Amino acid sequence: MSQAPDWLNQLINPNVIALTPYQSARRLFSGGQDWLNANESPFTHDYELDQSNFNRYPSCQPSAVLSGYAAYAGLEESNLLITRGADEGIEVLIRTFCQPGKDSILICPPTYGMYAISAQTCDVKVTNVPLKDDFQLDVDAIKAESNEPKLVFLCSPNNPTGTVLEVSDIKQVLAHFSGKALVVLDEAYIEFTDTQGWAEQLAEHPNLVILRTLSKGFALAGLRCGFTLASRDIIQALLKVIAPYPVPEPVAQIAAQALSKEGIARLRNDVSYLNQAKIQLAKRIASFPNCTLVGSDKANFILFRTPEKQAIMDFLVSHGMLIRDQSKQLNLENCLRVSIGNEEQNARLIQLLTDYFTQRGCDK
Protein backbone atom coordinates (compact mmCIF):
# COMPACT_ATOMS: atom_id res chain seq x y z
CA MET A 1 0.00 0.00 0.00
CA SER A 2 1.35 3.48 -0.81
CA GLN A 3 2.14 5.88 2.02
CA ALA A 4 -0.11 8.96 2.28
CA PRO A 5 1.71 12.32 2.28
CA ASP A 6 2.29 13.99 5.66
CA TRP A 7 -0.35 16.68 5.24
CA LEU A 8 -2.97 14.00 4.52
CA ASN A 9 -1.89 11.93 7.51
CA GLN A 10 -2.41 15.01 9.66
CA LEU A 11 -5.97 15.17 8.40
CA ILE A 12 -6.93 11.49 8.68
CA ASN A 13 -8.43 10.55 12.06
CA PRO A 14 -5.77 8.97 14.31
CA ASN A 15 -7.96 5.89 14.91
CA VAL A 16 -8.20 5.40 11.14
CA ILE A 17 -4.41 5.71 10.67
CA ALA A 18 -4.00 2.85 13.14
CA LEU A 19 -6.35 0.57 11.18
CA THR A 20 -5.54 -2.22 8.79
CA PRO A 21 -8.47 -2.92 6.47
CA TYR A 22 -10.49 -6.12 7.00
CA GLN A 23 -8.60 -8.94 5.31
CA SER A 24 -11.60 -10.16 3.40
CA ALA A 25 -11.21 -13.35 1.41
CA ARG A 26 -11.59 -11.24 -1.74
CA ARG A 27 -8.78 -8.92 -0.76
CA LEU A 28 -6.40 -11.76 0.08
CA PHE A 29 -6.74 -13.68 -3.18
CA SER A 30 -8.13 -12.52 -6.46
CA GLY A 31 -7.17 -15.54 -8.59
CA GLY A 32 -8.10 -19.16 -8.11
CA GLN A 33 -11.02 -21.19 -9.31
CA ASP A 34 -12.46 -22.88 -6.24
CA TRP A 35 -13.62 -20.43 -3.63
CA LEU A 36 -14.00 -22.23 -0.34
CA ASN A 37 -12.66 -19.32 1.70
CA ALA A 38 -15.54 -16.93 2.41
CA ASN A 39 -18.40 -19.18 3.57
CA GLU A 40 -20.28 -18.32 0.42
CA SER A 41 -22.87 -20.67 -1.02
CA PRO A 42 -21.72 -22.67 -4.07
CA PHE A 43 -25.22 -22.32 -5.55
CA THR A 44 -26.76 -19.58 -7.67
CA HIS A 45 -30.41 -19.04 -8.48
CA ASP A 46 -32.23 -16.99 -11.09
CA TYR A 47 -34.11 -13.79 -10.32
CA GLU A 48 -36.16 -11.34 -12.34
CA LEU A 49 -35.81 -7.56 -12.41
CA ASP A 50 -38.48 -4.99 -13.22
CA GLN A 51 -36.63 -1.88 -14.38
CA SER A 52 -39.63 0.43 -14.58
CA ASN A 53 -38.77 2.18 -11.31
CA PHE A 54 -35.00 2.47 -11.62
CA ASN A 55 -35.26 6.23 -12.21
CA ARG A 56 -36.75 6.71 -8.71
CA TYR A 57 -35.07 6.62 -5.33
CA PRO A 58 -36.04 3.40 -3.61
CA SER A 59 -38.12 3.10 -0.48
CA CYS A 60 -35.98 3.35 2.68
CA GLN A 61 -37.32 0.02 3.92
CA PRO A 62 -39.06 -1.73 1.00
CA SER A 63 -42.29 -3.28 2.22
CA ALA A 64 -42.11 -6.50 0.17
CA VAL A 65 -38.77 -7.32 1.82
CA LEU A 66 -40.00 -6.33 5.28
CA SER A 67 -43.14 -8.46 4.98
CA GLY A 68 -41.19 -11.39 3.51
CA TYR A 69 -38.58 -11.43 6.25
CA ALA A 70 -41.13 -10.76 9.01
CA ALA A 71 -43.08 -13.84 7.90
CA TYR A 72 -39.88 -15.89 7.61
CA ALA A 73 -38.61 -14.88 11.08
CA GLY A 74 -42.02 -14.90 12.79
CA LEU A 75 -41.85 -11.22 13.79
CA GLU A 76 -43.65 -7.93 13.18
CA GLU A 77 -42.24 -5.63 10.49
CA SER A 78 -41.65 -3.01 13.21
CA ASN A 79 -39.03 -5.36 14.70
CA LEU A 80 -36.91 -5.31 11.53
CA LEU A 81 -34.29 -3.14 9.88
CA ILE A 82 -33.05 -4.03 6.38
CA THR A 83 -29.34 -3.22 5.94
CA ARG A 84 -26.54 -3.47 3.38
CA GLY A 85 -25.57 -6.91 4.66
CA ALA A 86 -25.38 -7.79 8.35
CA ASP A 87 -22.11 -5.84 8.31
CA GLU A 88 -23.99 -2.57 7.98
CA GLY A 89 -26.18 -3.63 10.90
CA ILE A 90 -23.04 -3.97 13.03
CA GLU A 91 -21.87 -0.51 12.04
CA VAL A 92 -25.22 1.22 12.48
CA LEU A 93 -25.57 -0.31 15.96
CA ILE A 94 -22.15 1.01 16.95
CA ARG A 95 -22.85 4.46 15.50
CA THR A 96 -26.22 4.61 17.24
CA PHE A 97 -25.15 3.43 20.69
CA CYS A 98 -21.43 4.15 21.16
CA GLN A 99 -19.84 7.58 21.58
CA PRO A 100 -16.48 7.88 19.83
CA GLY A 101 -13.50 8.17 22.15
CA LYS A 102 -15.60 7.18 25.15
CA ASP A 103 -17.68 4.01 24.85
CA SER A 104 -16.74 0.40 24.27
CA ILE A 105 -18.09 -2.84 22.87
CA LEU A 106 -17.39 -6.31 24.26
CA ILE A 107 -16.48 -9.23 21.99
CA CYS A 108 -15.56 -12.88 22.66
CA PRO A 109 -12.70 -14.03 20.41
CA PRO A 110 -12.05 -16.08 18.40
CA THR A 111 -14.96 -14.63 16.46
CA TYR A 112 -16.05 -12.65 13.42
CA GLY A 113 -13.62 -9.80 12.69
CA MET A 114 -16.00 -7.03 11.69
CA TYR A 115 -17.21 -6.15 15.22
CA ALA A 116 -13.75 -4.91 16.22
CA ILE A 117 -13.05 -3.28 12.86
CA SER A 118 -16.33 -1.36 12.83
CA ALA A 119 -15.71 -0.23 16.41
CA GLN A 120 -12.20 0.96 15.56
CA THR A 121 -13.35 2.93 12.52
CA CYS A 122 -15.75 4.74 14.88
CA ASP A 123 -13.05 5.26 17.55
CA VAL A 124 -14.94 2.96 19.92
CA LYS A 125 -12.91 0.75 22.27
CA VAL A 126 -13.01 -3.03 22.12
CA THR A 127 -12.95 -5.20 25.24
CA ASN A 128 -11.99 -8.83 24.63
CA VAL A 129 -13.34 -11.59 26.84
CA PRO A 130 -12.08 -14.78 25.15
CA LEU A 131 -14.27 -17.83 24.73
CA LYS A 132 -13.32 -20.77 26.96
CA ASP A 133 -11.41 -23.78 25.60
CA ASP A 134 -14.68 -25.38 24.48
CA PHE A 135 -15.56 -22.10 22.65
CA GLN A 136 -18.40 -21.40 25.08
CA LEU A 137 -18.88 -18.02 26.79
CA ASP A 138 -16.82 -17.28 29.88
CA VAL A 139 -19.89 -15.90 31.65
CA ASP A 140 -18.06 -15.16 34.92
CA ALA A 141 -15.38 -13.17 33.11
CA ILE A 142 -18.04 -11.28 31.14
CA LYS A 143 -19.86 -10.40 34.38
CA ALA A 144 -16.58 -9.38 36.03
CA GLU A 145 -15.64 -7.00 33.21
CA SER A 146 -15.25 -3.51 34.66
CA ASN A 147 -15.28 -1.62 31.33
CA GLU A 148 -19.00 -1.09 30.91
CA PRO A 149 -19.73 -1.90 27.26
CA LYS A 150 -22.69 -0.43 25.41
CA LEU A 151 -22.89 -3.42 23.05
CA VAL A 152 -21.97 -7.06 23.66
CA PHE A 153 -21.44 -9.04 20.44
CA LEU A 154 -22.08 -12.79 20.58
CA CYS A 155 -21.95 -15.02 17.52
CA SER A 156 -23.89 -18.30 17.33
CA PRO A 157 -23.16 -20.39 15.34
CA ASN A 158 -19.79 -18.72 15.72
CA ASN A 159 -17.51 -17.90 12.80
CA PRO A 160 -14.88 -19.45 12.59
CA THR A 161 -15.46 -22.18 15.22
CA GLY A 162 -18.88 -23.42 14.02
CA THR A 163 -20.03 -23.74 17.64
CA VAL A 164 -23.44 -22.81 19.06
CA LEU A 165 -23.55 -20.92 22.36
CA GLU A 166 -25.36 -22.46 25.34
CA VAL A 167 -28.86 -21.05 25.80
CA SER A 168 -28.39 -20.69 29.57
CA ASP A 169 -25.16 -18.69 29.07
CA ILE A 170 -26.85 -16.27 26.66
CA LYS A 171 -29.71 -15.86 29.14
CA GLN A 172 -27.24 -15.02 31.92
CA VAL A 173 -25.50 -12.46 29.73
CA LEU A 174 -28.86 -10.90 28.74
CA ALA A 175 -29.86 -10.69 32.42
CA HIS A 176 -26.51 -9.26 33.51
CA PHE A 177 -26.70 -6.43 30.96
CA SER A 178 -30.44 -5.83 31.32
CA GLY A 179 -31.06 -2.06 31.31
CA LYS A 180 -27.31 -1.40 30.79
CA ALA A 181 -26.19 -2.72 27.42
CA LEU A 182 -27.55 -4.37 24.28
CA VAL A 183 -26.62 -7.98 23.60
CA VAL A 184 -26.19 -8.41 19.83
CA LEU A 185 -26.54 -12.03 18.80
CA ASP A 186 -25.13 -12.65 15.32
CA GLU A 187 -27.12 -15.44 13.68
CA ALA A 188 -25.60 -15.21 10.18
CA TYR A 189 -25.50 -19.05 10.03
CA ILE A 190 -28.82 -19.82 11.72
CA GLU A 191 -30.19 -21.52 8.59
CA PHE A 192 -27.64 -24.32 8.96
CA THR A 193 -28.90 -25.29 12.43
CA ASP A 194 -32.12 -27.13 13.17
CA THR A 195 -33.30 -24.34 15.49
CA GLN A 196 -35.29 -21.16 14.89
CA GLY A 197 -32.70 -19.10 16.77
CA TRP A 198 -33.61 -16.37 19.22
CA ALA A 199 -36.13 -14.33 17.18
CA GLU A 200 -39.06 -15.71 19.20
CA GLN A 201 -37.42 -14.53 22.43
CA LEU A 202 -37.13 -10.87 21.36
CA ALA A 203 -40.26 -9.76 23.23
CA GLU A 204 -38.98 -11.36 26.42
CA HIS A 205 -35.59 -9.61 26.30
CA PRO A 206 -35.75 -5.86 25.58
CA ASN A 207 -31.94 -5.66 25.34
CA LEU A 208 -31.62 -8.44 22.74
CA VAL A 209 -30.67 -7.60 19.13
CA ILE A 210 -30.28 -10.28 16.43
CA LEU A 211 -28.30 -10.02 13.20
CA ARG A 212 -29.31 -12.03 10.12
CA THR A 213 -28.24 -12.08 6.49
CA LEU A 214 -29.14 -13.35 3.02
CA SER A 215 -25.41 -13.93 2.35
CA LYS A 216 -24.96 -17.44 3.69
CA GLY A 217 -27.86 -19.93 3.63
CA PHE A 218 -29.82 -17.85 1.09
CA ALA A 219 -26.82 -17.88 -1.28
CA LEU A 220 -26.88 -14.12 -1.91
CA ALA A 221 -23.56 -12.77 -0.63
CA GLY A 222 -23.33 -10.61 -3.76
CA LEU A 223 -26.66 -8.95 -2.99
CA ARG A 224 -25.55 -7.26 0.27
CA CYS A 225 -28.75 -7.66 2.21
CA GLY A 226 -29.02 -8.27 5.94
CA PHE A 227 -31.44 -7.73 8.79
CA THR A 228 -31.33 -6.39 12.32
CA LEU A 229 -34.08 -7.81 14.55
CA ALA A 230 -34.92 -5.92 17.74
CA SER A 231 -37.64 -4.16 19.72
CA ARG A 232 -39.54 -1.44 17.92
CA ASP A 233 -37.78 1.22 20.04
CA ILE A 234 -34.31 -0.01 19.10
CA ILE A 235 -35.27 -0.20 15.40
CA GLN A 236 -36.59 3.39 15.55
CA ALA A 237 -33.26 4.58 16.98
CA LEU A 238 -31.30 2.76 14.25
CA LEU A 239 -33.52 4.31 11.56
CA LYS A 240 -32.29 7.75 12.64
CA VAL A 241 -28.72 6.79 11.80
CA ILE A 242 -28.92 4.55 8.72
CA ALA A 243 -28.53 6.16 5.28
CA PRO A 244 -31.78 7.40 3.70
CA TYR A 245 -31.77 4.81 0.88
CA PRO A 246 -29.85 1.83 2.22
CA VAL A 247 -31.58 -0.81 0.06
CA PRO A 248 -31.13 -0.36 -3.72
CA GLU A 249 -34.22 -1.17 -5.80
CA PRO A 250 -32.68 -4.24 -7.57
CA VAL A 251 -31.62 -5.59 -4.16
CA ALA A 252 -35.14 -5.15 -2.83
CA GLN A 253 -36.66 -6.98 -5.80
CA ILE A 254 -34.26 -9.92 -5.53
CA ALA A 255 -34.54 -10.14 -1.75
CA ALA A 256 -38.33 -10.27 -2.00
CA GLN A 257 -38.05 -13.19 -4.46
CA ALA A 258 -35.56 -14.98 -2.21
CA LEU A 259 -38.05 -14.67 0.66
CA SER A 260 -40.99 -16.04 -1.38
CA LYS A 261 -42.32 -19.53 -0.72
CA GLU A 262 -40.24 -20.91 -3.61
CA GLY A 263 -37.16 -19.01 -2.45
CA ILE A 264 -37.40 -20.47 1.03
CA ALA A 265 -37.96 -23.98 -0.37
CA ARG A 266 -34.75 -23.56 -2.43
CA LEU A 267 -32.92 -22.38 0.68
CA ARG A 268 -34.02 -25.49 2.61
CA ASN A 269 -32.91 -27.66 -0.27
CA ASP A 270 -29.46 -26.01 -0.53
CA VAL A 271 -28.92 -26.19 3.23
CA SER A 272 -29.87 -29.83 3.43
CA TYR A 273 -27.34 -30.67 0.69
CA LEU A 274 -24.61 -28.59 2.34
CA ASN A 275 -25.23 -30.08 5.78
CA GLN A 276 -24.89 -33.61 4.42
CA ALA A 277 -21.81 -32.75 2.36
CA LYS A 278 -20.30 -31.14 5.46
CA ILE A 279 -20.47 -34.38 7.44
CA GLN A 280 -18.76 -36.29 4.63
CA LEU A 281 -16.08 -33.64 4.16
CA ALA A 282 -15.36 -33.44 7.89
CA LYS A 283 -14.87 -37.22 8.04
CA ARG A 284 -12.44 -37.15 5.13
CA ILE A 285 -10.44 -34.22 6.50
CA ALA A 286 -10.16 -35.86 9.92
CA SER A 287 -8.77 -38.98 8.24
CA PHE A 288 -5.65 -37.19 6.91
CA PRO A 289 -2.46 -37.43 9.01
CA ASN A 290 -2.30 -34.93 11.89
CA CYS A 291 -5.49 -33.16 10.84
CA THR A 292 -7.83 -32.56 13.79
CA LEU A 293 -11.29 -31.06 13.58
CA VAL A 294 -11.66 -27.98 15.80
CA GLY A 295 -14.88 -26.54 17.23
CA SER A 296 -18.09 -27.83 15.70
CA ASP A 297 -19.90 -28.01 12.37
CA LYS A 298 -23.09 -26.05 12.97
CA ALA A 299 -22.49 -23.60 10.10
CA ASN A 300 -21.43 -24.08 6.44
CA PHE A 301 -17.73 -24.62 7.08
CA ILE A 302 -15.23 -26.88 8.80
CA LEU A 303 -12.33 -25.76 10.96
CA PHE A 304 -9.32 -28.02 11.38
CA ARG A 305 -5.85 -27.88 12.85
CA THR A 306 -2.69 -29.17 11.23
CA PRO A 307 0.98 -28.52 11.99
CA GLU A 308 1.46 -28.36 8.21
CA LYS A 309 -1.04 -25.57 7.68
CA GLN A 310 1.31 -23.31 5.72
CA ALA A 311 2.49 -26.02 3.33
CA ILE A 312 -1.11 -27.16 2.82
CA MET A 313 -2.32 -23.59 2.17
CA ASP A 314 0.48 -23.00 -0.33
CA PHE A 315 -0.19 -26.30 -2.10
CA LEU A 316 -3.93 -25.60 -2.38
CA VAL A 317 -3.44 -22.00 -3.52
CA SER A 318 -0.99 -23.12 -6.19
CA HIS A 319 -3.76 -25.38 -7.51
CA GLY A 320 -6.40 -22.64 -7.49
CA MET A 321 -8.14 -23.97 -4.38
CA LEU A 322 -8.73 -21.20 -1.88
CA ILE A 323 -9.47 -21.87 1.78
CA ARG A 324 -9.02 -19.55 4.77
CA ASP A 325 -6.12 -19.34 7.20
CA GLN A 326 -7.53 -18.70 10.69
CA SER A 327 -4.28 -19.27 12.54
CA LYS A 328 -3.87 -15.64 13.62
CA GLN A 329 -7.05 -15.79 15.68
CA LEU A 330 -6.82 -16.24 19.42
CA ASN A 331 -6.46 -19.94 20.34
CA LEU A 332 -6.65 -21.05 16.72
CA GLU A 333 -2.96 -21.66 16.04
CA ASN A 334 -2.48 -23.74 12.87
CA CYS A 335 -6.18 -23.69 12.05
CA LEU A 336 -7.62 -23.62 8.53
CA ARG A 337 -11.27 -23.05 7.62
CA VAL A 338 -12.97 -24.65 4.63
CA SER A 339 -16.38 -23.55 3.37
CA ILE A 340 -18.59 -26.35 2.04
CA GLY A 341 -18.74 -26.20 -1.75
CA ASN A 342 -20.67 -28.08 -4.40
CA GLU A 343 -20.04 -31.75 -5.09
CA GLU A 344 -17.26 -31.07 -7.58
CA GLN A 345 -15.44 -28.57 -5.38
CA ASN A 346 -15.58 -30.77 -2.30
CA ALA A 347 -14.27 -33.72 -4.30
CA ARG A 348 -11.47 -31.58 -5.74
CA LEU A 349 -10.48 -30.41 -2.28
CA ILE A 350 -10.25 -33.99 -1.00
CA GLN A 351 -8.29 -35.02 -4.11
CA LEU A 352 -5.83 -32.15 -3.64
CA LEU A 353 -5.35 -32.98 0.05
CA THR A 354 -4.80 -36.62 -0.89
CA ASP A 355 -2.22 -35.51 -3.48
CA TYR A 356 -0.55 -33.27 -0.93
CA PHE A 357 -0.13 -36.02 1.63
CA THR A 358 0.98 -38.58 -0.97
CA GLN A 359 3.60 -36.21 -2.33
CA ARG A 360 4.85 -35.17 1.08
CA GLY A 361 5.07 -38.83 2.13
CA CYS A 362 7.49 -39.46 -0.77
CA ASP A 363 9.53 -36.34 -0.03
CA LYS A 364 10.22 -37.27 3.56
Ligand X SMILES: *Cc1c(COP(=O)(O)O)cnc(C)c1O
Contact status: 270 vs ligand X (CB under 6 A): no
| d(C-alpha 306, C-alpha 302), whole Å | 13
Count CA atoms closer than 13 A to 92's CA, side-chain side: 27
Cα–Cα distance, 74 to 309 (Å, whole number): 43
In the complex, residue closest to ligand X by CB: 85
| Residue 68 is a binding residue for ligand X (CB under 6 A) | no
Pairing relationship of beta strands 182-186 and 151-155 according to DSSP bridges: parallel
* Using rule CB under 6 A, residue 161 touches ligand X: no
Query: Which of 119, 94, 298, 80 has its CA nearest to residue 210?
Result: 80
* Using rule CB under 6 A, residue 40 touches ligand X: no
Smallest gap from Cβ 255 to ligand X, in A, equals 11
Interface with ligand X (CB under 6 A), residue from 112, 192, 301, 315: 112
Confirm or reject binding of residue 126 to ligand X (CB under 6 A): no
How many residues touch ligand X (CB under 6 A)? 13
Give least dist CB 159 to ligand X, A.
Answer: 4
Q: To the nearest whole angstrom, how small is the minimum distance from the Cβ of residue 169 to ligand X?
A: 18
Residue 115 in the binding site for ligand X (CB under 6 A): no
User: To 10 degrees, what angle do helices 249-258 and 261-286 make?
Assistant: 80
159 near ligand X (CB under 6 A) = yes
CA-based torsion, 137, 217, 327, 336: positive or negative:
positive
Of the ranges 29-37, 85-93, 121-129, 326-334, which one interacts with ligand X (CB under 6 A)?
A: 85-93
| Preceding omega of 244 cis (within 30 degrees of 0) | no
On the question of a cis peptide bond just before residue 157, with omega within 30 degrees of 0, the verdict is yes
* Residues 186-215 close enough to bind ligand X by CB under 6 A: 186, 188, 213, 215
Is residue 42 part of the contact set for ligand X (CB under 6 A)? no
Residues that bind ligand X (CB under 6 A): 39, 85-87, 112, 155, 159, 186, 188, 213, 215, 221, 226
